[in-house]
Amino acid sequence: MQEQRRGTPSIILLHYHLRPGGVTKVMEQQARALDALGYPWLGLVGHNPKGIPGFQTLERLNYDVYLQDSLLDEERRYHNLSTDIHRAIQAWKTSDSPVIIHAHNVTLEKNTALLPALQRLQSMGYRFLLQLHDFAEDGRPQVYSPEDYPQDCHFAVINSRDFRALMQAGLSSPGLHRLPNQVSPLPLPAPREPANNPAPAGSSSSGSLAQSLGKSRLILYPVRAIRRKNIGEVILLSRILEDTALAVTLPPNNPADNQTYRFWQDLVRSLDAPVQLGAGEQWAFEDLVAQADSFLSTSVQEGFGFAFLEPWTIQKPVGGRYLEMVCPDFEHQGMNLSHLYTSIRIPLSWFNTEKVRQDWLGENQKRIHAFYQVVAKNPDNQQNTLQALELLLKDLPDRWSRLVQDGTLDFAILPREEQAAIISRLSPDNRADKDHLLALNPQLAAWPLAGSAPPLHQGAVAENTRVVTTVYSAEAYANRLSRVYSQVLQDHLEHSISKTSLLLSFLNPEGLYLSAM
């Protein structure tokens, strides 16, 4: 442990695990920020598969499914867990400086002992910063905890949508902090000396991906092709954009997404569409980044939205679907995202409207019923929640009617089979339907990433690049983190979260996309 400046807090970074993923990436960035700030820190996690330095493993922090003591009585489990955390901190500390436990995603019920363990640690005098990246209320009833969430402590979120939801649920602004993620520059290939270092097969120097698909321009979607990334819309765009190939970098790594991925692979092959799924399996990521003329996001759900920011670090534009949950934050910082589209309207006559209506109602009913069943197991002080869920169920038909009142529906709401039928309908020789679609969606015809439209103004590219490389830089992130920790030490809070309000903030039927199911 490094020598500590007087008055500097000791930080404990705490999470269930360090498996590859978004939270692990953030925690590694926080560790580097703390090193830069000179703050002593210790990581406590339930599993550290890659042996990331600075993180100590406490097995009782892991998910319940991996724990041998998950059959013990609840009181004994949380007492054991809180004792493990306390002992690890005390064995590590070398001064009497204040300790802040910066814990991640604790409201997801992945370990049923964690919330009561934190309550016990709070009674022992520990201060908390609880950073919430994901919410069980956001369509994940299987990890919705019946426990009350921690009270009278500080919380942090990564976007303004979550900030507003928690404010409406009862938190006060001194104890709720925006902590947007750090954005690192995208990698580019190192310069090569052609005579001495010929390019390997599958690199940009041995021919381009766009050329292999018979096009001159490449739009890259640098994600895993999981369902919420809305891959059908990528293929739809390939039927609209001129002289443009599209590529998605990686296949899914979750078996639950494999069937949908194979469905889209089969469609691309059958249509001979200029789309490469899993391009990163054949090309180095750096070479794909270098080849890309621009980048794409068609996702229907994001927590932070790296895909909207990272390409600007190398002065390449991003196009695609505007997400209300993250994009306003970027615009507030000064980015110009006016070229993004908010939806792709499809005429109701192009698909089986009644079947889609029944599917949409059924999936929403299933989701609401799942939360109802969890809440009903602990009905004390939950009657308001149960009544609100019942009203939401009754209101579903009216909400559907409002979605289709103009005679169209957003393409992303459709299930994959209906999406595929529409993509197939827009064949190269069906000019009439393509013109009709563009008339309904004029922003696509004028899209700066389309070969037939004027490119995005260089001033907008330069300004977006400036915002991303300054507002979301490593230095800016470390400064934000330091300010939040100072407030955690200074402010004594009395506030709590209304779980009813929080659930209703996220349980938005209009935000259900059948393409992501």
Residue 391: in which H helix or E strand, if any? helix 383-403
**Ranges 193-197, 230-234, 265-269: which has the least confidence:** 193-197
| Mean pLDDT, the chain, whole residue set | 92
What is the distance between the alpha carbons of residues 512 and 517, in angstroms, rounded to a whole number?
9
* 200 confidence band (pLDDT: 50, 70, 90): very low
Q: How confident is the model at residue 1 (pLDDT cuts 50, 70, 90)?
A: very low
Residue 253's SS3 state is coil
Element (H, E) at 177: strand 176-178
- Which pTM does this prediction carry? 0.92
Rounded Cα distance between 34 and 247, Å, is 37
Inter-residue contact 170 to 499 (CB < 8 Å): no
- Distance, in Å, from the CA atom of 128 to the CA atom of 136, rounded to the nearest integer, reads 20
Provide the pLDDT confidence category of residue 191 given band limits of 50, 70 and 90. confident
10-133+150-182+473-496: what CATH class? alpha beta
Intrachain domains 10-133+150-182+473-496 and 204-344+441-470 with the same fold: yes
Mean pLDDT of 301-327: 95
Q: Which of 69-73, 159-163, 351-355 has the lowest mean pLDDT?
A: 69-73
Non-local (6+) Cβ contacts of 361 within 8 A are: 396, 397, 400
Does the pLDDT of residue 2 top 60, yes or no? no
> What are 409's strand-pairing partners?
346
CB proximity list for 284: less than 8 A, separation 6 or greater: 189, 202, 203
* Distance of alpha carbon 81 from alpha carbon 58, whole angstroms: 9
Cα–Cα nearest to 450, from 285, 258, 244, 272: 244
Q: Provide mean pLDDT across the span 489-510.
A: 93
Q: Which CATH superfamily is domain 204-344+441-470 in?
A: Glycogen Phosphorylase B; (3.40.50.2000)
Taking the domains of the chain in order of start, what are their residue ranges?
10-133+150-182+473-496, 204-344+441-470, 348-413+510-516
Would you say residue 192 has pLDDT above 70?
Answer: no
- DSSP string for residues in 305-355: -GGGTGGGGGT--EEEB--TTTHHHHHHTT---TTSBS--EEEGGGS-HHH
Confidence band of 445 (pLDDT split at 50, 70, 90): confident
pLDDT value at 70 more than 70: no
Is 42 a residue whose pLDDT tops 60? yes
Tokens representing residue 383 in the block: 């009657």
| Phi, psi (degrees; rounded to nearest 5) at 247 | -140, 140
State mean pLDDT over 207-232: 96
Q: Is the pLDDT of residue 452 over 80?
A: no
Q: What is the 3-state secondary structure (H, E, C) of 410-442?
A: EHHHCCHHHHHHHHHHCCCCCHHHHHHHHHHCH
Q: Mean pLDDT lowest for which of 36-45, 353-362, 374-383, 421-430?
A: 374-383
| pLDDT (0 to 100) of residue 208 | 95
171 contacts 146 by C-beta, under 8 angstroms? no
- Per-residue pLDDT at 69 exceeds 80: no
Per-residue pLDDT averaged across 29-46, rounded? Answer: 97
- Mean pLDDT over 159-175 rounds to 96
